[in-house]
Structure 1
């Protein structure tokens, strides 16, 4: 083969190689460009919730898993903490400048006062804001700004063992203090079981103080000012002390918790106690043969029948990595109707959003009643920054008052001083 033919074949064979080189070069440029582009940054949310029951943690774990599947660019860190340790846990986080992005708890205003919280109106979507029952929202505002979203709500009423009442000849729940004392005495003398469950433990004492403050015609505040040591409130505590001294309550009010007392009632060893509406789902499940009834919290003669409303609220702390768009998506997600309905039914709560409340009330007369009554309930003054300090100060006063180490007047004077000092 001569040199001319070789050169010709070489040129012909090179043509497709050159042609192929053109698109290959383009692809290589695109791949290099993709490799150099910045990946979309991940948002991060940490949230802390209390443990209401053994089902609480699995519920939130499943919710986080589903949320991260739907939003793979948002990472969620979850902690579910027993109520007994919740306050100390998040207090430690805050002291280390590592607060959670979201906290579910029962007090917030001291954090708002210190400038630690996000404005919830900047996180709530219009759709979620529209669903929230309005009567829950006022206690979530401090200085006119919404810092909380209600999530878990209950209504406190008097629950009683119907079999015990029938056996001793009591027709229905007592509505006054005199009737409460008479019923407790009749149960104690006839059945030889405790008449009235009184919870002055560190977990619940502020609730029982509220029942008998309001029942006497008093309350934590009057005309926007702290009024803890008012004569009416002192009268309420004196009545509780007298019930205990007469042997008409359970023998260990500062030791046995509300949940333990509910089981004692279910076992037929206690006539009545004040509890939340979760009683209606939790206790009959554990004691399927129990016949129970309920009524308003007994009050002093001449006072208006009383129910107490309690709510636990979401708050959002300002952090170095706060991502309001991610937080808004997460709040929408955990309030989705089917998911939130599961939570409410599982824990025995009252819905705080109308879409779920209306659905559950359609075929449940107890839910309809609870939703109606909570609109007229008294609430803790959680919108006042001093409430946190007042609540904590109540924890150690139950035993001192019952055993005579401190008079009711002196105990309430001290609470009043704490409230005033923390309000400055």
Structure 2
């Protein structure tokens, strides 16, 4: 069988056009068979080496991402003898810098799977997703994630992995305090007070330290009904709702000693997660990796949606990492064909299950939602949040500097002598200044 052919008995009469700079077209016939016009050769008609730089999602050498990519590349190469895929995997501490150094030196990889795409899109260095992915693959990617991959209304960033945040709570500590998971801010504060009364070290862990303060901040801003930006993408850090949110945090949680012995501005996310896994935290916002971290320590925990002032929060915070194709080497056709393989349901599910992350395609998400596997069931609370989640404003080239400013300063908003309105106003000034030079 031609390597580009796949059968689909249920898709009769569909038509799919693969857009490539080389003009190759793929068609799904009335019999549901996909074939590349012009012969089976397609991307395998000449010797091509694709170079991919990717981030490491593993927590040890045993489950590092290099093994995942090597296996995937080997499988792809076995069906495409004219294409070789070389993958270099770096830690999250290094991968974005490595790609930047390669691009700055004039040696861009063909593909990069990293944390941000907007700067490269603005510099004209990336292929639009429409020039890489088949229409079938494009349609399968979750729309709210694809939308976040747009710069100037064109998608350049292809979501690769996703997660959301939910409120974790320690079931043992809650039972001892005789309380139930909160559904409103007032209930959260009351629960925290009850936990504090039982000697819990961190009734509610509020990590606003420089490691990942932008995440905890965004979850609370969404919980309060606002966010970093408005509906048209203008920064609104100092909105009345955001000031009210941080004033409530300062007065009702931090000021009443309900966030633990470490000042929120000095508490990092990793330390908060470790404390939860050690049974020292009553509640905190967490993402899927905390499931395994707490489970290994035997912590009995539950997960509920983040509360809002009077009920469930308007939205949960979503996070996505990005795949992108660079123009420099001119391998649009081969890049696109490989990415269609990467985003096949089987491969998306395999990656998501391996690293406890959420699938970025509808087909894989539906399969996970319907699965009875324990690991898939554990991810359902996060999966249920994904459809209504909101992501960082990653399509703005100014976001990197705004995020850095939030990390360094937001903890001051809830400090004893801090001013929520003052800190948010200063952050808004920083964002406005950064946005004025944002070509997006």
Q: Identify whether the pair has TM-score above 0.5, normalized to the shorter chain.
A: yes
CA deviation profile, 1:293-351 (whole Å, cap 9, x unmatched): 111112223774542222212122222x1301221122122223333212111111111
Deviation at 1:373, TM superposition (A): 2.7
3-state SS, counterpart of residue 84 of structure 1? coil
Task: Find the partner of 1:169 among 164, 178, 182.
Answer: 178
Deviations 1:164-222 (A, max 9, x none): 10000112x11222222221121122134211111223332111111221222221122
What residue in structure 2 maps to residue 208 of structure 1? 216
Change (3 A) 1:61 1:408: farther
Task: Write out per-residue CA displacement over residues 30-81 of structure 1, whole angstroms, 9 at most, x where no aligned residue.
Answer: xxxxxxxxx9443332323243533233222332343344434333332322
Map 1:42-61 → 2, pairs under 5 A: 42-54=48-60, 55=63, 56-61=65-70
Find the aligned partners of 1:192 and 1:357 in 2 and give their Cα distance: 37
Distance 1:283 1:251, change over 3 A: same
Distance 1:263 1:415 in 2: 29
Alpha-carbon deviation of 1:276? 1.4
Aligned partners of 1:305 and 1:284: how far apart in 2? 27
| Alignment partners' CA distance in 1, 2:124 and 2:325 | 11
2:335 is equivalent to residue 324 of structure 1: no
Q: Greater RCO between the two (CA within 8 Å, min separation 6)?
A: 1
Give the match for residue 182 of structure 1: 190
Q: 1:299 aligns with which of 298, 305, 308?
A: 308
Counterpart residue number, 1:361: 369
Asked which structure has the greater CA Rg, the reply is: 1
Pick aligned residue for 2:388 from 373, 376, 394: 376
Alpha carbons 1:155, 1:310 under 8 Å: kept: yes
1:266 aligns with 2:286: no
Q: 1:347 to 1:227 in 2, by over 3 A?
A: same
- Other-structure match for 1:345: 353
Q: Report the secondary structure of 2:405's partner residue.
A: helix
1:246 corresponds to which of 242, 253, 256: 256
1:64 aligns with 2:43: no
State the SS of the aligned residue for 2:261. Answer: coil
Task: Give the Cα separation in 2 of the matches to 1:422 and 1:296.
Answer: 33
Asked if 1:82 corresponds to 2:114, the answer is no
In the alignment, is the contact (CA less than 8 A) between 2:146 and 2:158 conserved in 1?
A: yes
Shift of 1:367: 4.7
Partner Cα separation in structure 2 for residue 388 and residue 328 of structure 1: 28
Q: 1:422 aligns with which of 427, 434, 440?
A: 434
Output the CA distance in 1 between the equivalents of 2:80 and 2:98: 28
Residues 213, 268 of structure 2: 8 Å contact kept: no
Question: Structure 2 vs 1, CA of residues 84 and 44 (structure 1 numbering), >3 Å: closer, same or farther?
Answer: closer
- 1:276 maps onto 2:284 in alignment: no
TM-score (norm 1): 0.81
Q: Tell me the residue number matched to 1:22.
A: none
Gaps of 5+ in 1: 1-38
Which segment is superposed worse, 382-391 or 346-355?
A: 382-391
CA shift digits 1:75-128 (9 cap, x unpaired): 333232222333433333333333332222333223322322211110002332
Q: C-alpha distance in 2, partners of 1:346/1:112?
A: 30
> Is 1:175–1:305's contact at 8 Å kept on the other side of the alignment?
no
Provide the rounded CA distance (Å) in 1 between the counterparts of 2:312 and 2:382.
Answer: 21
Q: Distance in 1 between matches of 2:261 and 2:125?
A: 43
Residue in 2 aligned with 1:408? 420
Specify which of 398, 408, 430 is matched with residue 386 of structure 1.
398
CA RMSD of aligned residues (A): 2.6
| Matched positions, count | 382
1:226 match: secondary structure:
coil
Q: Normalized against structure 2, the TM-score is what?
A: 0.78
**CA distance 1:345–1:407, change in 2 (3 Å):** same
CA shift in 2, pair 1:405/1:48, >3 Å: farther
- Higher mean displacement: 300-309 or 110-119: 300-309
Alignment match, 1:95: 104
Q: CA deviation at 1:406?
A: 6.0
Verify: 1:145 aligned to 2:154, yes or no.
yes
- Aligned with 2:296 (options 265, 286, 302): 286
Summarize the Cα distance change of 1:127–1:303 in structure 2 as closer, same or farther, 3 Å threshold. closer
Residue range with higher mean Cα deviation, 82-91 or 306-315: 82-91
In 2, the alpha carbon distance for the partners of 1:100 and 1:419 equals 31
